[in-house]
Structure 1
Amino acid sequence: MGKAKSFLLGFTFGSVAAASAVLLSTPKAGKQFRTTLKDKVGEMSASVDDIKNAVNQAKENINDLKTKGMPLVRTTVNDVKELVDTWKSQVQPHLGKLLQDSKSLGEETKRIPITRSIDD
């Protein structure tokens, strides 16, 4: 049994039990008691219907999200992959030169004499 059905079933039985306990514990005449009981059952039925409608609406929203959202996510992932691949292909030719320049710069900095100021 699904979680929504279990919840609705528990909610319904709990509501009926609570309403019955309240109604049975209050002193009223038979006709007045039946009228009150009938009204309360109608209210609970309306509440259960509202909950069912809310659950059904939530299910529809989830299905819409799955059918409309997942293709959008897939498209976005593919677009990002393409952008990364394009970036890599544009950077790759320059990577060797950048590494060489970095190495040369490191060698040149080693040749710079280190001087200390008098304040040190």
Structure 2
Amino acid sequence: MKASTFLIGLATGSIAAAIAVLYSTPQSGSELRTSVKSASTDMKAKFKDVKSKVADLKESVSHLTKEAKLTVPATIDDIKGSIEEWQQLTEPNKARLETEIAAIQTALEELEQTLAAQQKP
């Protein structure tokens, strides 16, 4: 739903409600005209306030969008660089750990063979 459609619907409903309330109350003609004039002035002020707040919101969203367009790509590039750096720094440790794991597996196999040989009398 578009904001303009929503605001038009809100304004129409508010005006209809104000008119219904004004005509359903027992007042003299001059009191009714004063009430209508007062309600009209209040509604104009409220609509002006709503219009101002919607304009501020649109400006804030526009500013946020511009900031995101500048900030997000730079952040993504920084994260990619950090990951690549981490991978380069951990590569020697990875190779060393793979060598140690292979040595441990070899030692375990030799230990199993030794134990199997000792169990055969």
Q: TM-score normalised to the size of structure 2?
A: 0.83
Residue aligning to 2:21: 22
SS in 1 for 2:81: helix
Distance 1:75 1:95 in 2: 29
* 2:26 aligned with 1:41: no
Residue aligning to 2:119: none
Cα pair 1:8 1:48 within 8 Å, conserved: no
Distance 2:57 2:104 in 1: 62
Residue aligning to 2:31: 32
Runs of at least 5 residues in structure 2 that lack an aligned partner in the other structure: 116-121
Residue aligning to 2:58: 59
CA RMSD of aligned residues (A): 1.7
Q: Percent identity?
A: 31
Distance 2:90 2:36 in 1: 78
For residue 108 of structure 1, report the CA deviation from its aligned partner: 2.3
For residue 70 of structure 1, report the CA deviation from its aligned partner: 2.5
Distance 1:73 1:25 in 2: 57
Structure with greater helix share of residues: 2
Q: TM-score normalised to the size of structure 1?
A: 0.84
SS in 2 for 1:63: helix
Residue aligning to 1:89: 88
Number of equivalences: 112
Distance 2:44 2:108 in 1: 84
Cα pair 1:23 1:33 within 8 Å, conserved: yes
Residue aligning to 2:9: 10
Residue aligning to 2:102: 103
Distance 2:104 2:18 in 1: 84
